[in-house]
Amino acid sequence: MTTLTQTPAYRRDTPAQTCVWKSADGTRLAGDVWGTPNGMPVILLHGSGQTRHAWRRPAQALAAAGFHVIAFDARGHGDSDWSPVCNYSQGAMVRDLECVAAMLDGRAPVLVGAGMGGSTSLLAVGERYLNAHALVLVNIAPQTESAAVARLQSFMRQRPDGFTALDEVDAALQRLRAHPARPLNAEDLMQSMRCGDDGKYHWHWDPGFAAWPRDLARRESRLSKCARNLRLPTLLVRGQSSEVVSEAGARAFLRLCPHAEYVNVRDAGHTIAGDQNDAFGDTVLRFLLRHANAAGLPSQHAKACA
């Protein structure tokens, strides 16, 4: 097993190294890498409509604790390619993850996935495409609330003509959230936006992704089978105000995967991973440090990072 090793201190303001991978079908995937290459690898997978930048603060904290952290833009999102044939299937997402994990030379990574990224991680592990050291699912479970999912999909399809100002973007995001957050600054907002040739702000994802058909019943059946297959350390993190994964949905997952740990974060909603939520970051870091200790993390380093 990969273990964390004693390395020079990593500063949280250290810039990430930008990387590019090509998936099996030639799709170019853009990502960032933090931390020491010989640390336990952690791959962060963002949710629908987000980009790798949603993970910036958690990634820096994990790197400072000695982990080797990778976050990449899913196909059709951020700086990664849009699929020329509009292939945004779950299978394509899993193959992309396999491509990124291949850079680890056989070392089993920890997978941390929010929403769509969590589904990709659960499928990759549950259907035995990828060997992982541990799994963290953030506001995703086999059983989701169809009305909330439909609301998110509707949100992603709105304003195809773009926004004229960033405060319009912030207002749209605040209306989406069941748990209102503080107004986002321009830097935060631009993580999910791009400036078009028309001078307007457009969402930084392929409109074809939002149009991809989703069979929630089939998805639930497939993910449920994956949950039953899990044997690795698993943590489910839910924002208490999440409309997508209800408390009943979380409990249903725990029946499928009885050894999983569960944390319900107060004052947080579905976008907890990208809301600069310290409670979320602390929860994930402590879980990963505990399992890194089991893999042989030096005790003096663990105490410094706990």
Tokens at 130, concatenated: 């990828």
Per-residue pLDDT of the chain (306 residues; tens, 9 = 90+): 333 333 445 666 677 899 999 999 999 999 999 998 989 999 999 999 899 998 988 999 999 999 999 999 999 999 999 999 999 999 999 999 999 999 998 999 999 999 999 999 999 999 999 999 999 999 999 999 988 888 888 887 888 888 998 888 888 877 776 555 556 677 777 777 888 888 899 888 898 888 777 788 999 999 999 999 999 999 999 987 788 999 999 999 999 999 999 998 876 655 665 554 567 778 899 999 998 866 554 433 333 333
Type of residue numbered 291: H
Q: For 17-145+221-305, which CATH superfamily applies?
A: Alpha/Beta hydrolase fold, catalytic domain (3.40.50.1820)
The answer to whether the beta carbons of residues 102 and 127 sit under 8 Å apart is no
Task: Give the side-chain half-sphere CA count within 13 A for 175.
Answer: 11
Residues 173 and 189: their CA atoms lie apart, in Å, by 9
Task: Give the side-chain half-sphere CA count within 13 A for 201.
Answer: 15
E strand spans, 61-200: 68-72, 110-114, 134-138, 193-195
Among 251, 245, 252, 291, residue whose Cα is nearest residue 268: 245
Domains of the chain, by residue range, sit at 17-145+221-305
For the entire predicted model, the pTM comes to 0.88
Name the β-bridge partners of 193. 203
Residues 201 and 184: their CA atoms lie apart, in Å, by 15
Q: What is the pLDDT of residue 5?
A: 36
The answer to whether the beta carbons of residues 180 and 174 sit under 8 Å apart is yes
Q: Are strands 234-239 and 134-138 parallel, antiparallel or unpaired?
A: parallel
Backbone torsions φ then ψ of 74, nearest 5 degrees: -60, 155
Q: What is the pLDDT of residue 232?
A: 97
Q: What is the pLDDT of residue 1?
A: 32
Type of residue numbered 295: A
Q: Are strands 28-34 and 234-239 parallel, antiparallel or unpaired?
A: unpaired
The answer to whether the beta carbons of residues 197 and 222 sit under 8 Å apart is no
Q: Which residue, chain included where needed, has tokens 């989701």?
A: 144
The answer to whether the beta carbons of residues 144 and 249 sit under 8 Å apart is yes
The answer to whether the beta carbons of residues 220 and 139 sit under 8 Å apart is no
Q: What is the pLDDT of residue 70?
A: 97
Q: For residues 189-223, b (16+ Cβ closer than 10 Å) or e, as one string?
A: bbbbbeeeeeebbbbbbbeebbebeeeeeebbebb
Tokens at 223, concatenated: 């993910």
User: What DSSP letter does each residue of 234-261 carry, written as one string?
Assistant: EEEEEETT-SSS-HHHHHHHHHHSTT-E
